[in-house]
Amino acid sequence: MDNYTESVHDVKVDSKESAFYVDAAKYWEQVPPTVDGMLGGLSSISDIDLKGSQRFLNSIYQLVECPGKERALDGGAGIGRVTQGFLMKNFPVVDLVEQDRQFLEEAKKALEPTKHKGQFFNIGLQKFIPEVGVYDIMWVQWVLGHLTDDDLISFFIRCKSGLKPKGLLVLKENLTSSGEVEMDNTDSSVTRPRALIIELIKKAGLRVVKEQKQQRFPNDLYEVRMFAIQPV
């Protein structure tokens, strides 16, 4: 058996965790493990989203110092929508990190008939510690709003150690246009302005090497941007 045998790593939720994390976990426990559930009823944008991600990834490989194409991480993977619809088409090995057990089990089920190779980590990103120096791309999408600023900085710092020398951390996230942080009490998450995202990236000792706006989303949604970042 090789180093990429499928496995599930479990981490129990700490009973002393802040209400911010506990409330979010409770919310997602009630969400159906479907594409519509993952996208808040907007499954119609999934294909547009995946194609936009592919275009951005293609642009990354036009950089002078571009990463390899061996192993990727899907952070906040949900049911594996991004893994199956995009990352597996570019990397032979894709690891999934997802806090909700039900979603991760659905991802395993969906990926079982495919040629997927990779590990499944049942843990929140605020606790996830990647293996050192193994990822070419760490793709983290629509989940950063569930981390506090301090935990987000800590997560970024840990991601640095998980990257290969030319590896990149890619963030794809909603951004506010108001310049302020907006709280969603329904799912216990925040949406940050671009300036704050950039500030947190810098505080973690990282820099943006490529940035692009997601196109063709409905006008009534938040602006979505992709950031490719690497250690300074």
Q: Tell me the pLDDT of the chain averaged across its residues.
A: 93
pLDDT tens digits, 45-103? 999 999 999 999 999 999 988 999 999 999 999 999 999 999 999 999 999 999 999 99
pTM higher than 0.75 for the full model?
A: yes
Q: Identify the H or E element spanning 209.
A: strand 206-213
End-to-end CA distance of the chain: 37
Confidence at residue 135, expressed as pLDDT on a 0 to 100 scale: 98
pLDDT tens digits, 99-145? 999 999 999 999 999 999 999 999 999 999 999 999 999 999 999 99
Backbone CA torsion sign across 57, 59, 65, 68: positive
Q: Is 78 known to sit in a ligand binding site?
A: no
Q: Is 84 known to sit in a ligand binding site?
A: no
Confidence at residue 6, expressed as pLDDT on a 0 to 100 scale: 42
* Phi and psi based region of residue 201 (left: phi greater than 0; alpha: psi -120 to 50; beta: remaining): alpha
- HSE, CB side, 13 Å, CA atoms: give it for residue 63: 20
pLDDT tens digits, 166-180? 999 999 999 999 999
Q: Is 81 known to sit in a ligand binding site?
A: yes
pLDDT tens digits, 148-162? 999 999 999 999 999
Under the banding of pLDDT at 50, 70 and 90, the label for residue 17 is: low
The most confident of 4-8, 12-16, 106-110, by mean pLDDT? 106-110
Under the banding of pLDDT at 50, 70 and 90, the label for residue 231 is: very high
With 60 as the cut, is the pLDDT of residue 10 above it?
A: no
Q: Is 125 known to sit in a ligand binding site?
A: yes
Type of residue numbered 226: M
For 150-192, the DSSP string reads HHHHHHHHHHHHHEEEEEEEEEEEEEBSSSS-EEETTTTEEE-
Q: How many residues does the chain have?
A: 232
Q: Is 76 known to sit in a ligand binding site?
A: yes
Structural domains for the chain: 8-231 (3.40.50.150)
